[in-house]
Amino acid sequence: MQYHDFVERDKRKHGKEWLNIINIMMKAAVKVLVVKMNMMELVLEGITDMVLHINIPTDILESSLRDLSNLKVSKAVSKYINIKNADILHLVEMGFPESKVIKALKATDGIKEDAVIILLHDQKDHFELDNYLYIVWIFISKQLYQYLNQRLLTLNDYCPICDSPHDLDRMAMLKPYICHRELCIFSFTTLGLMSDVADSVTSSPKVIDLLIHLTNCAAFSQRHDIILTPFPAFVDPAKPTELAMHEKCKDIGLLRAVLAHMPHAADMVKYERKNMQAELAKHDSLCFPLLRWIIRSNRSYIVALPEHQQINLMGTKHQFLMRSMPPLEERNFMAKRAIHGSTFAFQGVACEGDECIDHGVTRLSMLTFARAILLEDQIIFIFNHLVLSPDEVCGLILGAGCATPYFPGHDWTIKLPDSPKPPPRAPTVPKPDAPTVRVLHLTDIHLDPQYEQGSKAACNDPLCCRASSQTALTSKMAGKYGDYDHCDCPVATANDLFKHLRSIHDQYDYILFTGDIPAHDIWNQTMADQMASIRRLDRMFREFLPDKPIFQAVGNHESVPCNSFPPPGIPNQNSTWLFDTLVDVWRRWLPAEQLHTVATCGSYSHSPYPGFRLISVNNNYCNTLNFWLILNATDPCGTLQWLIQELQTAEDKSEKVHLLLHIPTGSSDCMKAWSWNFYKIVNRYENTIVNQFYGHEHRDYFQIFLDDTYFTRPTGVGFAAPSVTPYSATNPTFRIYTIDGNYKDSSW
């Protein structure tokens, strides 16, 4: 009850203040009518819109309007004002000549209110000013009261400009909302009705940040075409006769670009009110109109809860209360509640606040449900198209721990080339004076810009060492360079690492990075976050190691939701946003002809030296937590078949190959069928594949591949490098390999 009471007190306090303002405006409107009669309709619409926008409680509004309408009037005036369906008699008895009354009604198509305006304008000189103001005042107050009394409870179902009913089914609306018709959008821009941007920003900066972040989540969602319906619509300030965005022009790229330039509300508060639009235009000319759309598109009443009203168990200072039920629906609910009572159930997770550095927008993570909805949407799609039983799904993902650990349909066999396998050749040791190449191997950096020295190092969250970390499990505080208790890599550690790598740049020739860039706050990430993380690491490589070639593999944490890599062909679900980002970042060291496979499946093949080839394989398509594989786990994206083609080409050219993968094959995180087929490929091309490099597990080890007949003869080796992040109780680590160098017939 305390939260309901809080909102009611807030509404009533502001409601009374606004009613005083409305009374003053009504009196001012009368004076305006004396000079310009045709302003009456606009004044009434403006006052009505203002009343509804601030959501004054119904009982307060009705009481005030009733006082306005109960003015002391003569019996004659009172009698004629209340007569219905007798417009001519009504106007004649008010003192207007019958001929002029008839003429005025004809001119206004029988609309009495418009006829009164014409008649008053014609004869205002015949009225004494006090009487004239008195009559107009009664007319306005009476008409306004009748109009609001009839429409107050349902007015938000209609556009406040064209008065057409909204087509947003099942959408609760507590505030007015401009429809997406072009004429209404232009009218809204021209008249500037509803809330003022500067007022909203200065009075509720936290709420504004919340709304901006919601828009950002929607814009970068895989379901943006569904969530952003209708699409943001507003006029281009540089071209006042054109719409910059509209339902018929869904430029999602432009929307994302403008959101990327949107400043933090705390910075907007510093702007002078009158210069708000000009200041925002310095960031992007479309920031102001987009912000105004974001504000007016919110149809609910949101308030940032003061500290004494917050729920401590939520574990965050970013708490809001939202009410979206229109008055009529609320009245019906309260009536039923009085009879039947009510039960409330809550579902959610602990919340925290962090800062999206690249976009300058405070992310209020109590909206974790927005990311959960994305995963829910995928899971619903998967299970709607599922042919396996629950036990078979469990066996596919968890193996022997389930009721059906083996299902024949899980097994599949990749087709190898018809060309015979060359006889195995035993490895040879390079000559002591042979040229060498040195390779720096980095993996799993999990960079956390939210890491804060002195924060709780041991907490009950999946990721600690942040200002938002709650419920300390021990008294240990986060140090400057990291901590072993579920804390990711601080920026300070990453900077020192790269400074050190720059100081020893002559000790290695190129760099391998085998994936996992973002932090472990997977419940709290968006596509924008992941793209920002990828570009953040790229900037560090460019700043500290600008001349070192970098060859990367994609990690399971790069996607959002984490582990989600839908194979091609699934409607409205893809990893295009991620692969396009990788193409943009990786193109610095990859030739253009290799980028198309990155754009489709996240893999590539490249020859940095003659006789030597690097093949980066996106084996997130074997990840047991990639739920898309429940639908079809048979060589998703054709990755293994593509690998065979690349290896066959390398064999035909007598090239040696190093493989880059994120997840170690054969581990519990890689599906058995995929691992087994990969094992067969390694055995088939044992003369070609020289080394394999992995990440993912944060541990330092290597694995030996044996022949697939007797399992006694080594055929390959894979190196799993330890992580940069200390998240798994490991020291930040990198590796440097020395390999046979760049010369003819090198073993590599």
pLDDT tens profile 106-125: 776 666 666 766 676 665 44
DSSP 588: T
Section 38-62 average pLDDT: 44
Please say if the pLDDT value at position 208 is more than 70. Answer: yes
pLDDT band for position 589 (cuts 50, 70, 90) = very high
Strand 550-552 versus strand 510-513 pairing type: parallel
Taking the C-alpha atoms of residue 351 and residue 461, their distance in angstroms, rounded to an integer, is: 10
pLDDT of the residue at 84: 35
3-state SS record for 563-587: CCCCCCCCCCCCCHHHHHHHHHHHC
Please say if the pLDDT value at position 369 is more than 80. Answer: no
Q: Please tell me the least confidently modeled range out of 46-60, 252-266, 584-598, 715-729.
A: 46-60
Please say if the pLDDT value at position 254 is more than 50. Answer: yes
Q: What is the DSSP string of 160-222?
A: TTT-PBP--TT---SS----S-HHHHHHHHHH--S--HHHHHHH-HHHHHHHHHHHHHHHTST
CB of 442 within 8 A of CB of 415?
A: no
Section 289-316 average pLDDT: 77
pLDDT band for position 368 (cuts 50, 70, 90) = very low
pLDDT band for position 361 (cuts 50, 70, 90) = very low
pLDDT tens across 613-622, in order?
A: 999 999 999 9
Rg from Cα positions in the chain = 34
The larger pLDDT score, comparing residue 52 to residue 728, is at 728
pLDDT of the residue at 614: 97
The larger pLDDT score, comparing residue 56 to residue 161, is at 161
The larger pLDDT score, comparing residue 524 to residue 367, is at 524
pLDDT band for position 468 (cuts 50, 70, 90) = confident
Sorted by sequence, the CB contacts under 8 Å of residue 158 that are 6+ apart come out as 164, 165, 166
Section 268-280 average pLDDT: 84
The larger pLDDT score, comparing residue 57 to residue 369, is at 57
pLDDT of the residue at 42: 43
The larger pLDDT score, comparing residue 115 to residue 239, is at 239
CB of 733 within 8 A of CB of 489?
A: no
Please give the domain boundaries of the chain with CATH numbers for all domains. 195-340 (no CATH), 369-398 (no CATH), 438-451+488-740 (3.60.21.10)
pLDDT of the residue at 556: 95
Q: Please tell me the least confidently modeled range out of 30-34, 88-92, 179-183, 727-731.
A: 30-34
CB of 685 within 8 A of CB of 692?
A: no
pLDDT band for position 312 (cuts 50, 70, 90) = low
Q: What percent of the chain has pLDDT over 70?
A: 66
Q: At what angle do helices 129-151 and 58-69 cross, to 10 degrees?
A: 150
Mean pLDDT of the chain: 76
pLDDT of the residue at 485: 79
